[in-house]
Amino acid sequence: AIRMTQSPSSLSASIGDRVTITCRASQGFNNYLAWYQQKPGEAPRLLIYGASTLQSGVPSRFSGSGSGTDFTLTISSLQSEDFATYYCQQYYNYPLSFGGGTRVEIK
């Protein structure tokens, strides 16, 4: 099974900051990686799939990159509505797996 490790587990940032979250896979694959955003009390929301393709309706300040074992989610200019927890997910093979999550908090 592929293990997904996110870092950091939490971070504090200010409005307007550039934020980068990393996801590392225990074995390499091409671009079968998705990113989700989850706010308290809500279901997750798909942000990015294929490692870098923005889901329809997601603001362009979100971007994804990477391949192999190392992937990155970047928020170019943090907005108030972006304070949430972010998860990566590999869909290269079953069993599917998520990273442990990164909580983005207000500094």
Partner 1 sequence: EVQLVESGGGLIQPGGSLRLSCAASGFTFSSFAMSWVRQASGKGLEWVSGISGSGRSTYYADSVKGRFTISRDNSKGTLYLQINSLRAEDTAVYFCVPVSGRGEYFPHWGQGTLVTVFS
Q: Could you list the residues that contact partner 1 (CB under 8 A)?
A: 1, 32, 34, 36, 38, 43-46, 49-50, 55, 87, 89, 91, 94-101
- Whether 57 and 63 have beta carbons less than 8 Å apart is answered as no
How big is the CA angle at 93 (ends 90 and 99), to the nearest 5 degrees? 25
Nearest residue (CB) to partner 1, 43 versus 80 = 43
CB 46, min distance to partner 1, A? 5
Q: How many CA atoms lie within 13 A of 72 on its CB side?
A: 9
Nearest residue (CB) to partner 1, 14 versus 56 = 56
Cis geometry, peptide bond prior to residue 8 (ω within 30 degrees of 0): yes
Nearest residue (CB) to partner 1, 16 versus 73 = 73
CB 61, min distance to partner 1, A? 20
